[in-house]
Structure 1
Amino acid sequence: MANRTTQAIVRFTNAFLLPGSNKPQPAGDYRVDHDEESIEGVSRLAWRRVGSFIHLPGIGVKISTHQMVPINAADLDAAIEKDNKTS
């Protein structure tokens, strides 16, 4: 079984709160990594997401420490949707 990591940039126009965090993250662009594993079928190859990670702080923020925080893909989608509705 093969694995891969895909990257995406997510833009928040408003501050947002990650589940399990007591401190809101500021608006900005954030790198998100999605770990996926292959699902081999008879006629084609598909990928299943097995984990997602958001990089904190956001892109362009100058700080001495950076972290990669696991995040549930559904929680990330909900935060993006909420941000889109308040924009």
Structure 2
Amino acid sequence: MTMRSRRETVTFKHPFQIKGVDRLLPAGDYEVVTDEEMIEGLSFASFRRVATMIMVPSAAPRSSAMEMVSIGSIDLADAQRIDASAPHD
């Protein structure tokens, strides 16, 4: 099975919460990694998402370290939508 990983940076303008992380995360840039597998048997290359992870600061007392947390792609989209619709300062 052919696998690939895509990396992107998403920006949150406000502190946010996302399912899978049990604390409020600060506003800022976050790296999101999406793993996809190729759908076999098609006459063209097509991939399906199999995992989405976000890199977040570790909880205290190790807040200088980063941890990769598995999240749902819909949960990420919801957090981005809520962030975009939040009142601006």
Q: TM-score if structure 2 supplies the norm length? A: 0.84
Q: Aligned residue for 2:6?
A: 6
Structure 1 position 6, deviation (Å): 0.4
Identity %: 39
Which blocks of at least 5 consecutive residues in structure 1 are unaligned? Answer: 58-62
Q: What is the alpha-carbon distance in structure 1 between the residues aligned to residue 79 and residue 20 of structure 2?
A: 13
Confirm or deny that 1:81 pairs with 2:77. Answer: no
Aligned residues: 82
Counterparts of 1:1-87 in structure 2 under 5 Å? Answer: 1-57=1-57, 63-86=63-86, 87=88
Which blocks of at least 5 consecutive residues in structure 2 are unaligned? Answer: 58-62
Q: Give 1:11's aligned amino acid.
A: T
> In angstroms, what is the RMSD of aligned CA positions?
1.4
Q: What is the alpha-carbon distance in structure 1 between the residues aligned to residue 76 and residue 20 of structure 2?
A: 12
Deviations 1:7-37 (A, max 9, x none): 0100000000121434210000000000000
